[in-house]
C-alpha cells in the first residue's frame, strides 16, 4: 500500500506475532506462523494482508473481503468470509494502530549531528539523538536520548527535551521543558513572548513574560501551531494531549491530559482545561475561564463562560448543545413562516 519511496515496510510478520502486538485472540487460523506482508483497507486487502473492521458501515465490505487476516470485535466473528483468519479484540482500531506501526515504524534517529547543524559547546545531546542539517541547539540546552531534531529546527538556550521526542523541520522551541515521546511538528513555535501589554491611550507597554512552557509526555503539537510562554506562571500542556495544526495556545493556559484540540482553535490567556476535553475546529475560548474535564465543544463555537465538566456545548456564544440546536431550528421555522 504505502509508497516505498517514503515508507519502509518492516514486515513480514507471523500471525502469532501480529496477534501479540494487537493484543488480540487468534480465531479461525489453521497456521499461526503464516506470514503477512502488509496492512491494507478491507476492500483492497488480499491473502497476504492484515486489515481491520471498526466502523460498522463497512460490514458489507468485510463480508466480501479477500483479506488473509482481519482485526475485528467479537460480535462480528460469525460474519467473516470463509478462509479469513481473525484477530479478535474489543478495540479493533487501537489494535490496528499498533499493528500498522509495527509494519511501518517511525524511522529511527540516525544518532548523528549533521555537520551543518550549530550546536552550542555546553549543550548536551543524548545518546542516539539525531540533529538534522541547519538545526540549531542553544547554550546549555539538553536533548534527550533518541530524540530527532529535524532540519532547520531551533532549540533555544536552556531548553530541555525529553527522551525520544521529535521536533519537526523549522520548528522553534524556547523557554520550554518538554517531556518524552512527544511530537512537535514542522513550523511549530513554542516559548515566544505571550501577548501581554499594559495598554493605554499613550500606547501599549510590553510586559515581560517571565514564565515557561511545560509540555508533558506523549503530547503531539500540529504543524505551525503556537504556544506562548507564561507571564510568570507557566503555560502547561498535559500528558497525552493531541493538538492539531495552526492552533494558538496563549500565555498561562493550562491544558490537562489527553485533550484533543482540532485545527485553528484559539485558547486565550490563563484559561484552564481539564482532562479529555475535545475542542472542534476553529473554536475560540476567552481568557481566564475554566473548562471542566470531558467537555466536548462543537466546531466554530465561541466560549465566554466557565463550562462544567462533561457538558457538550456549541454555538457562539456557546451553550448546551440541545439549547443551541433548539435555537437554530426556532430561527429556521420563524424565517420560513415570514418568508411564506
What distance, in Å, lies between the first and last C-alpha atoms of the chain? 55
**Beta-bridge partner residues of 97:** none
Report CA torsion sign: 74, 76, 82, 88. negative
Catalytic residue among 49, 175, 185, 251: 251
In the complex with its own copies, which residue's Cβ is closer, 83 or 133?
Answer: 133
Peptide bond connecting 12 to the previous residue in cis, omega within 30 degrees of 0: yes
Minimum CB distance to its own copies, residue 76 (Å)? 17
Minimum CB distance to its own copies, residue 83 (Å)? 24
Spatial separation of the C-alpha atoms in residues 317 and 305, rounded to whole Å: 9
In the complex with its own copies, which residue's Cβ is closer, 9 or 28?
Answer: 9
Scanning the structure block, which residue is given the C-alpha cell 518492516?
10
In the complex with its own copies, which residue's Cβ is closer, 84 or 250?
Answer: 250
69-72 vs 85-88, strand pairing mode: parallel
Q: Are 132 and 153 in contact (CB under 8 A)?
A: yes
Spatial separation of the C-alpha atoms in residues 286 and 209, rounded to whole Å: 20
Minimum CB distance to its own copies, residue 50 (Å)? 13
Tallying the residues shown for the chain, one arrives at: 340
Minimum CB distance to its own copies, residue 151 (Å)? 4
In the complex with its own copies, which residue's Cβ is closer, 56 or 333?
Answer: 333
Minimum CB distance to its own copies, residue 201 (Å)? 8
- State the Rg of the chain over Cα: 24
213-215 vs 220-221, strand pairing mode: unpaired
Q: How big is the CA angle at 33 (ends 27 and 35), to the nearest 5 degrees?
A: 100
**Beta-bridge partner residues of 38:** 49
| DSSP letters for 270-286 | T-EE-SS-EE-TT-EE-
In the complex with its own copies, which residue's Cβ is closer, 6 or 78?
Answer: 6
Minimum CB distance to its own copies, residue 71 (Å)? 11
Q: Are 252 and 270 in contact (CB under 8 A)?
A: yes
251 a catalytic residue: yes
Q: Are 163 and 144 in contact (CB under 8 A)?
A: yes
Q: Are 171 and 185 in contact (CB under 8 A)?
A: yes
Q: Are 308 and 289 in contact (CB under 8 A)?
A: no
Minimum CB distance to its own copies, residue 217 (Å)? 10
In the complex with its own copies, which residue's Cβ is closer, 29 or 142?
Answer: 142
Scanning the structure block, which residue is given the C-alpha cell 492552533?
247
In the complex with its own copies, which residue's Cβ is closer, 77 or 210?
Answer: 210
Which helix (H) or strand (E) segment is 77 a member of? none
Residues carrying an active site annotation: 251
Amino acid at each position: 500500500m504505502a509508497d516505498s519511496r517514503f515508507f519502509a515496510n518492516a514486515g513480514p510478520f507471523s500471525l502469532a506475532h501480529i496477534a501479540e502486538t494487537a493484543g488480540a485472540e487468534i480465531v479461525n487460523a489453521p497456521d499461526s506462523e503464516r506470514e503477512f506482508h502488509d496492512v491494507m483497507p478491507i476492500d483492497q486487502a488480499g491473502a497476504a494482508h492484515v486489515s481491520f473492521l471498526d466502523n460498522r458501515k463497512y460490514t458489507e465490505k468485510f463480508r466480501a473481503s479477500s483479506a488473509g487476516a482481519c482485526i475485528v470485535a467479537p460480535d462480528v466473528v460469525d460474519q467473516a468470509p470463509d478462509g479469513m483468519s481473525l484477530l479478535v479484540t474489543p478495540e479493533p482500531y487501537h489494535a490496528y494502530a499498533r499493528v500498522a506501526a509495527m509494519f511501518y515504524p517511525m524511522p529511527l534517529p540516525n544518532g548523528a549531528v549533521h555537520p551543518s547543524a550549530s550546536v552550542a559547546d555546553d549543550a548536551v545531546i543524548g545518546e542516539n539523538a539525531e540533529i538534522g542539517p541547519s538545526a540549531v541547539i542553544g547554550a546549555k540546552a539538553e536533548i534527550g536520548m533518541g530524540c530527532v531534531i529535524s532540519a532547520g529546527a531551533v532549540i533555544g538556550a536552556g531548553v530541555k527535551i525529553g527522551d525520544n521526542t521529535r521536533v519537526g523541520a523549522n520548528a522553534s522551541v524556547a523557554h520550554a521543558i518538554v517531556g518524552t515521546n512527544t511530537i512537535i511538528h514542522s513550523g511549530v513555535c513554542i516559548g515566544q513572548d505571550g501577548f501581554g501589554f499594559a495598554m493605554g491611550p499613550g500606547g501599549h507597554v510590553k510586559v515581560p513574560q517571565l514564565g515557561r512552557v511545560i509540555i508533558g509526555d506523549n503530547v503531539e503539537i500540529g504543524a505551525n501551531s503556537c504556544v506562548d510562554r507564561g507571564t510568570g506562571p507557566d503555560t502547561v500542556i498535559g500528558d497525552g494531549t493531541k493538538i492539531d495544526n495552526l492552533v494558538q495556545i496563549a500565555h498561562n493556559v493550562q491544558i490537562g491530559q489527553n485533550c484533543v484540540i482540532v485545527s485553528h482553535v484559539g485558547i486565550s490567556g490563563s484559561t484552564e482545561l481539564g482532562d479529555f476535553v475535545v475542542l472542534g475546529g476553529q473554536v475560540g475560548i476567552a481568557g481566564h475561564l475554566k473548562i471542566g474535564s470531558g467537555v466536548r465543544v462543537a466546531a466554530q463555537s465561541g466560549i465566554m463562560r466557565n463550562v462544567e465538566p462533561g457538558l457538550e456545548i456549541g454555538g457562539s456564544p456557546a451553550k448546551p448543545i440541545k439549547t443551541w440546536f433548539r435555537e437554530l431550528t426556532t430561527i429556521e421555522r420563524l424565517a420560513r413562516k415570514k418568508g411564506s
